[in-house]
């Protein structure tokens, strides 16, 4: 129903400005038309972006990782160029199941799944509930694995749900995103500093009502309590990369999550914010290679 009023971004309209557009493909799986970027050869590495972002979040990291991995980076349901799907497709479970269908359609079993923020929560849910991923290396970048303490933890869901139900909310938010300096102020609140290309891409997605409406609906459907209570059951190898200046997900939550998982390692990325992988793709790639046991990390 919502896709009638809030359609997906038009690939033909934006592809000229999209990073790695030549590596973009569209795959139908699980009732969703997925926009997927695929690059490189070797063991499969699945990249899952966070709420409100898209596969463009990996524009600097993908070429580095693709030197030794086959990198698969989809837009999540309702984000950027991927269609929204069913009513449940934007929940944590729904996204994990949608990605299961995508991987089956592409005949891929990831050796590594790396997720940023909410993408890390989806990745953790997948390794917990999908038997084929029992040996997959899980990487959480500034992971949203535990509820954020304080006011946002109880107002976040209800507020987003009300906004998602209001048919005008996404249009109003998208219009606000085009105001000068507004996005820059919002980015400052993450603790990250992006270049002009990065800022331009975020302006594009947050200026599109369909993308914004899906972001609001995803936030309304997001529940972390069940995941948080089962983190201790993750027996996979786990790497946690955390920007020390993250203002969105407090770094101490990553440290707490690390202590819950028996095979987890934590790496602090100094002076970087919530989008550390966009600020320093080279340093992020080196940490991934190091923890995935690849000897060529020293050559980066």
The DSSP output letter for 115 is: E
**Contact between 69 and 45 (Cβ < 8 Å):** yes
Tell me the percentage of the chain whose pLDDT exceeds 70.
86
Residue 211 main-chain phi, psi, to 5 deg: -65, -45
Residue extents of the structural domains in the chain: 9-148+225-299
Predicted pLDDT at 157 = 44
Mean pLDDT, residues 160-177:
51
Question: What architecture does CATH give domain 9-148+225-299?
Answer: 3-Layer(aba) Sandwich (3.40)
Q: Max alpha carbon distance in the chain (Å)?
A: 52
pLDDT in tens, 9-55: 999 999 999 999 999 999 999 999 999 999 999 999 999 999 989 99
pLDDT band of 271, cuts 50, 70, 90: very high
Higher pLDDT, 114 or 186: 114
Structure tokens at 146: 């535990």
Mean pLDDT, residues 218-230:
89
Assess whether pLDDT exceeds 80 at residue 81.
yes
């Amino acid at each position: 129903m919502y896709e009638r009023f809030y359609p997906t971004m038009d690939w033909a309209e934006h592809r000229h400005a999209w990073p790695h557009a030549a590596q973009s493909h569209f795959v139908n799986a699980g009732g969703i038309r997925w926009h997927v970027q695929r690059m490189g050869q070797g063991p499969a590495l699945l990249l899952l972006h966070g709420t409100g972002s898209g596969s463009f979040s990996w524009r600097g990291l993908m070429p580095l990782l693709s030197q030794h991995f086959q990198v698969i980076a989809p837009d999540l349901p309702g984000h950027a160029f991927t269609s929204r799907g069913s009513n449940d497709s934007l929940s944590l479970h729904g996204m994990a199941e949608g990605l299961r269908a995508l991987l089956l359609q592409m005949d891929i079993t990831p050796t590594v799944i790396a997720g940023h923020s909410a993408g890390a929560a989806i990745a953790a849910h997948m390794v917990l509930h999908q038997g084929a991923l029992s040996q997959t290396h899980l990487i959480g970048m500034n992971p949203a694995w535990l509820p954020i303490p304080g006011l946002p933890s109880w107002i976040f869901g209800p507020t987003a749900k009300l906004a998602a139900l209001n048919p005008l909310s996404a249009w109003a938010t998208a219009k606000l995103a085009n105001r000068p300096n507004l996005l820059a102020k919002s980015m400052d609140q993450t603790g990250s500093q992006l270049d002009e290309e990065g800022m331009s891409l975020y302006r594009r997605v947050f200026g599109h009502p369909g993308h914004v409406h899906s972001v609001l609906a995803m936030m309304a459907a997001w529940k972390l309590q069940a995941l948080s209570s089962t983190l201790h059951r993750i027996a996979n190898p786990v790497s946690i990369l955390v920007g020390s200046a993250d203002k969105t997900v407090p770094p101490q939550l990553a440290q707490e999550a690390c202590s819950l998982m028996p095979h987890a390692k934590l790496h602090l990325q100094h002076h970087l914010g919530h989008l550390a992988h966009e600020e320093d793709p080279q340093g992020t790639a080196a940490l991934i290679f190091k923890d995935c046991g690849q000897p060529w990390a020293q050559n980066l």
